[in-house]
Amino acid sequence: MFFSTHDSGEALAAPTEAQSLYNQHSMSVKPEQIVDVTPPPMSRADRLFLPAVFKGLGTTLRHCLGNLGRDGKNTKNIHVVQYPEERREHRDVLDGGQYVPTFRGVHRLNRDEDGRVRCVACFMCATACPADCIHIVGEESPWEDREKYPKQFDIDELRCIFCGMCEEACPVDAIELTPRYEIVGLTRNEMIFDKAKLLEVYDQTCEEKPM
Protein backbone atom coordinates (compact mmCIF):
# COMPACT_ATOMS: atom_id res chain seq x y z
CA MET A 1 0.00 0.00 0.00
CA PHE A 2 2.84 2.36 0.77
CA PHE A 3 5.20 1.46 -2.07
CA SER A 4 4.82 1.37 -5.80
CA THR A 5 7.27 0.23 -8.45
CA HIS A 6 8.51 1.40 -11.86
CA ASP A 7 8.40 -0.88 -14.87
CA SER A 8 12.03 -1.56 -14.04
CA GLY A 9 10.95 -2.96 -10.70
CA GLU A 10 12.79 -0.22 -8.79
CA ALA A 11 11.11 0.63 -5.49
CA LEU A 12 9.71 4.12 -5.04
CA ALA A 13 9.39 5.96 -1.75
CA ALA A 14 6.03 5.96 0.05
CA PRO A 15 3.69 8.61 -1.38
CA THR A 16 3.34 11.71 0.72
CA GLU A 17 -0.07 13.07 1.75
CA ALA A 18 0.09 15.59 -1.12
CA GLN A 19 0.89 12.83 -3.60
CA SER A 20 -2.00 10.67 -2.40
CA LEU A 21 -4.35 13.63 -2.74
CA TYR A 22 -3.16 14.23 -6.29
CA ASN A 23 -3.55 10.55 -7.11
CA GLN A 24 -7.16 10.68 -6.00
CA HIS A 25 -8.13 13.87 -7.80
CA SER A 26 -5.90 14.18 -10.82
CA MET A 27 -4.76 11.41 -13.10
CA SER A 28 -2.90 13.91 -15.32
CA VAL A 29 -0.12 14.45 -12.76
CA LYS A 30 2.23 11.53 -12.38
CA PRO A 31 3.55 10.80 -8.89
CA GLU A 32 7.14 11.12 -10.11
CA GLN A 33 6.38 14.69 -11.25
CA ILE A 34 5.54 15.71 -7.70
CA VAL A 35 8.44 17.12 -5.74
CA ASP A 36 8.31 16.61 -2.01
CA VAL A 37 9.52 19.82 -0.40
CA THR A 38 9.10 18.73 3.21
CA PRO A 39 12.20 20.05 5.01
CA PRO A 40 14.49 17.31 6.33
CA PRO A 41 14.49 16.86 10.11
CA MET A 42 16.99 19.11 11.89
CA SER A 43 20.21 17.50 13.03
CA ARG A 44 21.65 18.07 16.50
CA ALA A 45 24.12 20.63 15.05
CA ASP A 46 21.27 22.45 13.30
CA ARG A 47 19.39 22.71 16.56
CA LEU A 48 22.30 24.64 18.06
CA PHE A 49 22.02 27.19 15.21
CA LEU A 50 25.78 27.77 15.50
CA PRO A 51 26.68 26.53 11.99
CA ALA A 52 24.11 28.93 10.50
CA VAL A 53 25.42 31.79 12.65
CA PHE A 54 29.02 31.17 11.51
CA LYS A 55 27.90 30.80 7.91
CA GLY A 56 26.16 34.17 8.12
CA LEU A 57 29.20 35.80 9.72
CA GLY A 58 31.37 34.27 6.99
CA THR A 59 29.18 35.90 4.30
CA THR A 60 29.41 39.26 6.06
CA LEU A 61 33.19 38.94 6.37
CA ARG A 62 33.52 37.94 2.70
CA HIS A 63 31.61 41.05 1.59
CA CYS A 64 33.54 43.24 4.03
CA LEU A 65 37.01 42.03 2.97
CA GLY A 66 36.01 41.91 -0.71
CA ASN A 67 35.27 45.62 -0.58
CA LEU A 68 38.17 46.67 1.61
CA GLY A 69 40.27 49.41 0.02
CA ARG A 70 38.16 49.44 -3.17
CA ASP A 71 36.03 52.44 -2.24
CA GLY A 72 32.78 50.58 -2.88
CA LYS A 73 33.71 49.75 -6.47
CA ASN A 74 33.75 45.99 -6.12
CA THR A 75 30.41 45.45 -7.84
CA LYS A 76 31.01 41.70 -7.95
CA ASN A 77 30.21 41.44 -4.26
CA ILE A 78 28.29 44.53 -3.32
CA HIS A 79 26.75 47.68 -4.80
CA VAL A 80 27.73 50.80 -2.89
CA VAL A 81 26.11 54.05 -4.00
CA GLN A 82 28.02 57.14 -2.85
CA TYR A 83 24.77 58.99 -2.17
CA PRO A 84 24.02 61.87 -2.67
CA GLU A 85 26.90 62.54 -5.10
CA GLU A 86 26.03 59.34 -6.92
CA ARG A 87 22.39 58.51 -7.54
CA ARG A 88 20.62 55.35 -8.64
CA GLU A 89 19.15 56.97 -11.74
CA HIS A 90 22.67 57.72 -12.99
CA ARG A 91 23.64 54.05 -12.98
CA ASP A 92 22.94 51.46 -15.59
CA VAL A 93 19.86 49.34 -14.81
CA LEU A 94 21.90 46.17 -15.13
CA ASP A 95 24.32 47.65 -12.61
CA GLY A 96 21.65 48.15 -9.94
CA GLY A 97 20.40 51.48 -11.31
CA GLN A 98 16.88 52.86 -11.42
CA TYR A 99 14.73 52.47 -14.56
CA VAL A 100 13.03 55.85 -14.42
CA PRO A 101 10.10 55.30 -16.88
CA THR A 102 8.54 52.54 -14.76
CA PHE A 103 9.85 53.36 -11.29
CA ARG A 104 7.12 53.61 -8.64
CA GLY A 105 8.05 56.34 -6.18
CA VAL A 106 6.14 59.05 -4.37
CA HIS A 107 2.62 59.85 -5.65
CA ARG A 108 1.32 62.91 -7.36
CA LEU A 109 -2.14 64.21 -8.17
CA ASN A 110 -2.25 65.38 -11.76
CA ARG A 111 -3.79 68.62 -12.96
CA ASP A 112 -5.93 69.03 -16.06
CA GLU A 113 -5.35 71.54 -18.88
CA ASP A 114 -6.95 74.29 -16.75
CA GLY A 115 -4.72 73.58 -13.77
CA ARG A 116 -7.51 71.97 -11.73
CA VAL A 117 -7.08 68.66 -9.94
CA ARG A 118 -8.03 65.91 -12.42
CA CYS A 119 -9.49 63.66 -9.71
CA VAL A 120 -13.26 63.15 -9.83
CA ALA A 121 -13.50 61.56 -6.36
CA CYS A 122 -14.70 58.20 -7.64
CA PHE A 123 -12.85 56.28 -4.86
CA MET A 124 -11.57 53.65 -7.31
CA CYS A 125 -7.97 54.11 -6.15
CA ALA A 126 -8.91 53.88 -2.47
CA THR A 127 -10.94 50.74 -3.18
CA ALA A 128 -8.09 49.11 -5.10
CA CYS A 129 -5.41 50.03 -2.57
CA PRO A 130 -4.31 46.87 -0.73
CA ALA A 131 -2.63 48.86 2.04
CA ASP A 132 -5.70 50.98 2.75
CA CYS A 133 -3.63 54.15 2.78
CA ILE A 134 -5.74 56.48 0.62
CA HIS A 135 -8.34 58.64 2.34
CA ILE A 136 -10.66 60.75 0.21
CA VAL A 137 -13.48 63.10 1.12
CA GLY A 138 -15.55 63.90 -1.96
CA GLU A 139 -17.64 66.98 -2.48
CA GLU A 140 -19.93 68.38 -5.16
CA SER A 141 -17.77 69.89 -7.85
CA PRO A 142 -17.87 73.66 -8.43
CA TRP A 143 -17.27 72.96 -12.14
CA GLU A 144 -19.84 71.89 -14.74
CA ASP A 145 -17.77 69.19 -16.43
CA ARG A 146 -17.83 66.80 -13.45
CA GLU A 147 -20.07 65.88 -10.56
CA LYS A 148 -17.54 65.54 -7.79
CA TYR A 149 -14.04 66.49 -6.83
CA PRO A 150 -11.89 65.66 -3.77
CA LYS A 151 -12.32 68.12 -0.94
CA GLN A 152 -9.68 66.12 0.89
CA PHE A 153 -7.22 63.61 -0.53
CA ASP A 154 -4.58 62.05 1.71
CA ILE A 155 -2.08 59.28 1.10
CA ASP A 156 -0.10 57.77 3.95
CA GLU A 157 3.26 57.25 2.28
CA LEU A 158 4.48 55.17 5.23
CA ARG A 159 1.70 52.62 4.80
CA CYS A 160 1.99 52.57 1.02
CA ILE A 161 3.72 49.56 -0.54
CA PHE A 162 4.18 51.34 -3.91
CA CYS A 163 2.36 48.62 -5.81
CA GLY A 164 0.84 51.00 -8.38
CA MET A 165 -2.69 49.60 -8.06
CA CYS A 166 -4.09 53.11 -7.47
CA GLU A 167 -2.80 54.47 -10.77
CA GLU A 168 -4.00 51.35 -12.57
CA ALA A 169 -7.49 51.81 -11.11
CA CYS A 170 -7.89 55.52 -11.83
CA PRO A 171 -10.24 56.09 -14.79
CA VAL A 172 -9.03 59.64 -15.47
CA ASP A 173 -5.25 59.32 -14.93
CA ALA A 174 -5.42 61.59 -11.92
CA ILE A 175 -3.07 59.70 -9.65
CA GLU A 176 0.41 58.59 -10.65
CA LEU A 177 3.57 57.34 -9.04
CA THR A 178 6.65 59.37 -9.89
CA PRO A 179 10.35 58.43 -10.12
CA ARG A 180 11.00 60.37 -6.88
CA TYR A 181 12.18 58.21 -4.02
CA GLU A 182 13.53 60.81 -1.64
CA ILE A 183 10.74 61.34 0.83
CA VAL A 184 11.62 62.28 4.35
CA GLY A 185 9.74 63.51 7.37
CA LEU A 186 10.44 63.96 11.04
CA THR A 187 6.99 62.79 12.13
CA ARG A 188 4.43 60.30 10.83
CA ASN A 189 2.07 63.17 10.11
CA GLU A 190 4.57 64.70 7.71
CA MET A 191 4.48 61.50 5.72
CA ILE A 192 0.76 61.82 5.11
CA PHE A 193 0.64 63.69 1.82
CA ASP A 194 -2.47 65.83 1.47
CA LYS A 195 -4.01 67.22 -1.71
CA ALA A 196 -1.86 70.37 -1.74
CA LYS A 197 1.33 68.38 -1.32
CA LEU A 198 0.35 65.83 -3.97
CA LEU A 199 -0.43 68.64 -6.43
CA GLU A 200 2.92 70.22 -5.54
CA VAL A 201 4.65 66.95 -6.44
CA TYR A 202 2.90 67.13 -9.81
CA ASP A 203 4.17 70.68 -10.35
CA GLN A 204 7.71 69.55 -9.52
CA THR A 205 7.68 66.39 -11.64
CA CYS A 206 5.50 67.14 -14.68
CA GLU A 207 8.65 67.83 -16.74
CA GLU A 208 10.39 64.72 -15.43
CA LYS A 209 7.45 62.44 -16.15
CA PRO A 210 4.93 63.99 -18.54
CA MET A 211 1.34 62.76 -18.24
**Does position 199 bind ligand SF4 by CB under 6 A?**
no
**Residues 115, 2: Cα–Cα separation, whole Å:** 73
| Only segment of 26-34, 78-86, 117-125, 203-211 that touches ligand SF4 (CB under 6 A) | 117-125
Q: How far is the CB of 124 from ligand SF4 (least distance, A)?
A: 4
**Does position 120 bind ligand SF4 by CB under 6 A?**
yes
Kindly list the distances between the CA atom of residue 94 and the CA atoms of 52, 63, 108, in Å, as whole numbers in the listed order: 31, 20, 28
Q: How far is the CB of 165 from ligand SF4 (least distance, A)?
A: 4
Residue 110 carries which DSSP code? -
Site string for ligand SF4, 135-174 (x = CB under 6 A): -x------------------x----xxxxxxx--xx-x-x
Query: Of 88 and 108, which has the nearer Cβ to ligand SF4?
Result: 108
Phi/psi of residue 148, each to 5°? -130, 160
CA nearest neighbour of 183 among 168, 206, 200: 200
Question: Taking a C-beta distance cutoff of 8 angstroms, is the pair 18, 36 a contact?
Answer: yes
Residue 138 carries which DSSP code? E
Q: How far is the CB of 68 from ligand SF4 (least distance, A)?
A: 39
**Residues 32, 150: Cα–Cα separation, whole Å:** 58
Query: Of 48 and 172, which has the nearer Cβ to ligand SF4?
Result: 172
User: Where on the chain is the footprint of ligand SF4 (CB under 6 A)?
Assistant: 119-125, 128-131, 133-134, 136, 155, 160-166, 169-170, 172, 174-175
